[in-house]
């Protein structure tokens, strides 16, 4: 069924009446119908979107598709018939044109095959799936056949873990990225470096290179290997200032990742550096590299 936008010359009174009727139905079937009605467009009312989204979702949960749809099986658990978030369903490629979500929920409530939760957030089959699915290790009976994930084209590893339906809750004031290793853990060990990397470091830290250049590169490479959240980054910057190193905006603004692919480690460190030694502190004889002493005084 076509979903092309109708030309103004093609719009007839019958089409307008059909769109109005669909909007009124949405208003009657949903507690937020008035808001939905304002968002119903002529395209949605005349192109069969109400029927289309029901048919599409019913196909997702059908016996023919669900048994081999590993992604959806990991959401609903196959025979377990776990309710699946409608927001996830609306995120599927073929469902993205159907908006707003409230209108999709209203439409899905009319399905004789699927059941929408009272709060309109989840959906499941009215009758659980029967028979074997890709979640079952013996789904493919032939010994020489291997079950593959249709999405990744890789062999399925059994048992297949189900995806969580609830969003993971993180401690207050933290986020998903803040749970990742930072490099400051007590058991953190830097991975071994390859011979070519060792040779590159020897070149960067050669004693013939200016002291200021070496210390700036060392600071930047230290930062590159650690994940600093905003709070830690502020403390680190204060520590640098306390030790005589200025914190300034990047010298090379707007350098893209594709441009950095052609750079070596030293050039990347210089491009990303925000810690610099002022010109009036470049005398190597006036510097004392004592991280422990500076740290103790700073704290």
pLDDT at 30 over 60: no
CA dihedral 143, 145, 147, 153 (to 10 degrees): 150
Q: Which of 8-22, 121-135, 194-208, 237-251 has the highest mean pLDDT?
A: 121-135
- For residue range 242-264, what is the model confidence (pLDDT) as tens digits? 888 888 876 666 677 777 777 77
Give the per-residue pLDDT at 186: 83
Give the per-residue pLDDT at 166: 74
Q: Among 17-31, 197-211, 276-290, which stretch is predicted with the lowest mean pLDDT? A: 17-31
pLDDT at 14 over 80: no
Give the per-residue pLDDT at 259: 74
Give the per-residue pLDDT at 7: 47
**Percent of the chain, pLDDT > 90?**
18
pLDDT at 64 over 70: yes
pTM metric for this prediction: 0.48
Give me the mean pLDDT over the 117-140 stretch: 90
Are 148 and 111 in contact by the 8 Å Cβ rule? The answer is: no
What is d(CA 290, CA 296) in angstroms, rounded to the nearest whole number? 10
Give the per-residue pLDDT at 59: 93
What is d(CA 284, CA 214) in angstroms, rounded to the nearest whole number? 11
Burial of residue 213, with CB atoms counted within 10 A of its CB: 0-12 exposed, 13-18 middle, 19 or more buried: middle
Give the per-residue pLDDT at 187: 84
Burial of residue 107, with CB atoms counted within 10 A of its CB: 0-12 exposed, 13-18 middle, 19 or more buried: buried
Which are the contacts of 237, defined by CB distance < 8 A and separation ≥ 6? 247, 275
Instruction: Give residue 24's pLDDT band: very low, low, confident or very high (50, 70, 90).
Output: low
pLDDT at 73 over 90: yes
**Percent of the chain, pLDDT > 70?**
76
| Greater pLDDT, 45 or 277 | 277
pLDDT at 287 over 90: no
DSSP conformational letter for 32: T
- For residue range 167-181, what is the model confidence (pLDDT) as tens digits? 777 777 677 777 788
pLDDT at 295 over 60: yes
Give me the mean pLDDT over the 36-53 stretch: 46
Average pLDDT, the chain: 77
DSSP conformational letter for 155: B
Structural domains of the chain, with CATH: 48-137+155-165 (1.10.10.10), 195-298 (no CATH)
């Amino acid at each position: 069924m076509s979903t092309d936008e109708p030309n103004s010359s093609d719009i007839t009174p019958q089409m307008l009446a059909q769109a109005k009727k669909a909007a009124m139905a949405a208003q009657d079937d949903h507690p937020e119908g008035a808001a939905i009605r304002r968002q119903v467009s002529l395209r949605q009312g005349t192109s069969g979107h109400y029927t289309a989204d029901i048919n599409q979702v019913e196909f997702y949960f059908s016996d023919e598709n669900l048994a081999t749809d590993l992604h959806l099986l990991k959401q609903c658990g196959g025979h377990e018939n776990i309710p699946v978030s409608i927001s996830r369903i609306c995120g599927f490629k073929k469902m993205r044109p159907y908006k707003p979500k409230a209108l999709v929920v209203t439409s899905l409530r009319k399905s004789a095959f699927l059941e929408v939760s009272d709060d309109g957030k989840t959906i499941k089959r009215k009758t659980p799936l029967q028979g074997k699915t890709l979640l079952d290790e013996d789904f493919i009976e032939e010994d020489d056949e291997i079950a593959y994930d249709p999405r990744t084209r890789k062999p399925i590893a059994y048992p297949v873990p189900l995806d969580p339906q609830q969003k993971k809750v993180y401690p207050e004031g933290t986020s998903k990225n803040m749970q990742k290793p930072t490099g400051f853990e007590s058991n953190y060990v830097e991975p071994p470096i390859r011979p070519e990397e060792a040779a590159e470091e020897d070149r960067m830290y050669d004693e013939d290179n200016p002291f200021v250049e070496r210390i700036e590169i060392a600071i930047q490479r230290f930062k590159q290997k650690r994940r600093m959240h905003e709070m830690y980054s502020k403390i680190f910057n204060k520590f640098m200032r306390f030790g005589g190193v200025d914190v300034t905006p990047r010298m090379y603004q707007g350098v893209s990742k594709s441009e950095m692919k052609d750079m070596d480690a030293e050039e990347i460190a210089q491009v990303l550096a925000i810690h610099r030694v002022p010109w009036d502190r470049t005398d190597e004889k006036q510097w004392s590299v004592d991280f422990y002493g500076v740290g103790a005084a700073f704290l």
